Amino acid sequence: MKKEIILASGSPRRSDLLHQVGISPVICPSRADEAISETRPDLVVQELASRKAQEVASRYEGQDVIVLGADTVVSIDHEILGKPGCEQKAEEMITRLQGRTHQVYTGVSLIFTGTKEQITFAEKTDVHVAPMTREQIRRYIAEGESLDKAGAYGIQGKFAAYVTGISGDYNNVVGLPLAHVCQVLREKEEM
């Protein structure tokens, strides 16, 4: 990398994805307000990613770095499913997703502090989930990996056993559309 990348997120999955392509980001979780004014999932994730990147970029004024903000949501029937927070909510979410196709949206905002340029975009991936019994859903939730994840599942974990396919970028579902991010960095000649 020509410039230091500041990841405006504490997500270990996003950090791991960047490391996978040789980017070692500085981790600087955003403290931005996450209230939303949009309702469309693609606009929601762009709004939040932008706000997160801007908050962290404000801490790097006068420095020539790239701040990367991101936000991921799961959507079904045009409704956003956030992090469940409790097992009952996780069960409700997985019950809605099982046997159906839903969408995962990740918004990314890159701020080039030297030029103050900001590039923001959203990526969508369709995820196809196999039918699941109530017992399978409860067993999955009991594993403990669903409570802190949008839509109550992690594709890179045990839930992979129920994902029958995807249409789009797998890494987008994990939390960062890596190829798109790298494409923007290459276009900006930062990679």
Residues acting as catalytic residues:
71
Quick one: how far is CA 52 from the chain centroid?
Answer: 12
Contacts (Cβ under 8 Å, ≥6 apart) of 81: 73, 74, 75, 93, 96, 97, 150, 151, 152
* Whole-angstrom distance, CA of residue 136 vs CA of residue 145: 14
Structure token digits, residue 178:
């890596």
Structure token digits, residue 31:
């403290």
Instruction: Provide the H-helix boundaries in the chain.
Output: 12-20, 41-57, 87-97, 134-142, 170-174, 178-187
Strand, helix or coil for residue 179 = helix
- How buried is 12 (Cβ within 10 angstroms: 0-12 exposed, 13-18 middle, 19+ buried)? exposed
DSSP, res 149: S
